[in-house]
Amino acid sequence: MSAHIIDGKEFSARVRGTVADQVKVLREKHGITPGLAVVLVGEDPASQVYVRNKNRSTVEAGMKSEEIKLPDTATEEEVLAVVNRLNEDESIHGILVQLPLPSQIDETAVIDAIAPEKDVDGFHVINTGRQAVGLPAMVPCTPRGCIMMLKDHLGDLSGLNAVVVGRSNIVGKPMASLLLAESCTVTIAHSRTKNIEDVCRGADILVAAVGRPEMIKGEWIKAGATVIDVGINRIAKDDGKTRLVGDVEFDSAKDVAGAITPVPGGVGPMTIACLLANTITATCRMNDIEEATLLG
Ligand code: NDP
């Protein structure tokens, strides 16, 4: 048996198409153009690429995009001043501060300064808390993308055994919380988990968010399980070049799993799509518009 490959590129294009349709309705029916601001501090090459892609996708979806660049010598006060200005700006519905920040800046202080209703990354502790108790919250983009792919593929998730490997604040914990909200029976595994292979073998849904190349092998996976590989790891090839691999050993896993996301081309493309989707959610909540009614 060979697993169904969940195509993140195709699914993310669908989500971005829906977002573009929602933007059209917000502009034409409500007179509102959703606005997303991205703050980049410093010259980190990877961050520059991410920010450029985010801006391009924002504009393609018909939204207003604002990019604020600060030098890597910027002080915490300067970054906070930008965040405060964006908090007050009524044309901006989502604020994202690209991480990591230079060492002189306290990331938590900056995230805490973002107005929770504009926190489209979903990292503010108010959003973390609201999500944990089941109140409407901004949900971190990567876990939101994983849940969308799971529901698209499996439909109702209730009663399924879900194992999340990794307990970071940006992926593992919110992922587990979202799966619980879908009425899965959830186990979180981490570096201290005993018999992790056996834990994984109990999963109908296995989410890997570890950051260890190809750690999860095919024999750890229950036949027919749905595997979501969040990991992005760059490894050296024999010819001296590099390639991206996930946290799951794809070649052995695909012979056992029922469905699996590839790396690249799985979870990765969903993250920007969900950033745009979160900006729609924020725009609707700020303007008392029922998001579900946008597209009828
Ligand atoms: P972190 O390093 O913050 O967390 C890794 C987690 O994995 C920790 O909870 C750690 O456990 C656990 N872990 C580490 N080693 C083991 C092990 N041997 N066995 C079991 N658990 C282990 O990583 P992130 O959550 O930020 O990211 C995880 C991966 O996802 C990375 O590859 C990252 O690049 C990728 N990623 C991809 C995104 C995308 O858009 N597709 C977005 C964000 C991340 P402990 O807590 O005990 O130390």
How high is the pLDDT of residue 296?
80
Given the residues 54, 118, 173, 222, the one annotated as active site: 54
The CA 208 to ligand 1 mean position distance, Å, reads 8
Which is nearest to 142 in space by CA: 268, 44, 47?
268
166 Cα distance to chain centroid? 15
State the span(s) of the chain assigned CATH 3.40.50.10860: 33-120
Contact 237, 243 (CB under 8 A): yes
Which is nearest to 276 in space by CA: 60, 8, 31, 90?
60
244 lines ligand 1 (CB under 6 A): no
How high is the pLDDT of residue 279?
98
| Residue from 123, 217, 230 whose mutation best tests the ligand 1 pocket (most atoms within 8 A of CB) | 230
How high is the pLDDT of residue 234?
94
Given the residues 98, 119, 131, 247, the one annotated as active site: 98
Nearest ligand 1 atom to the CA of 246 is: 32
Distance CA 123, CA 98 (A): 12
Among 3.40.50.720, 3.40.367.20, 3.40.50.300, 3.30.230.10, what is the CATH number of 141-268? 3.40.50.720
Instruction: Clarify whether 22 is annotated catalytic.
Output: no
State the span(s) of the chain assigned CATH 3.40.50.720: 141-268
Low-confidence residues in the chain, pLDDT < 70: 1
Distance CA 232, CA 238 (A): 19
**Preceding omega of 100 cis (within 30 degrees of 0):** yes
The CATH number given to 33-120 is 3.40.50.10860
Residue whose CA is closest, atom 6 of ligand 1? 166
Distance CA 40, CA 263 (A): 26
165 lines ligand 1 (CB under 6 A): yes
Sign of CA dihedral 89, 93, 98, 101: positive
Tokens representing 41?
Answer: 């501090």
Which is nearest to 173 in space by CA: 204, 132, 206?
132
How high is the pLDDT of residue 255?
97
171 lines ligand 1 (CB under 6 A): yes
| Residue from 147, 207, 210 whose mutation best tests the ligand 1 pocket (most atoms within 8 A of CB) | 210
Instruction: Clarify whether 54 is annotated catalytic.
Output: yes
211 lines ligand 1 (CB under 6 A): yes
Nearest ligand 1 atom to the CA of 266 is: 41
How high is the pLDDT of residue 40?
97
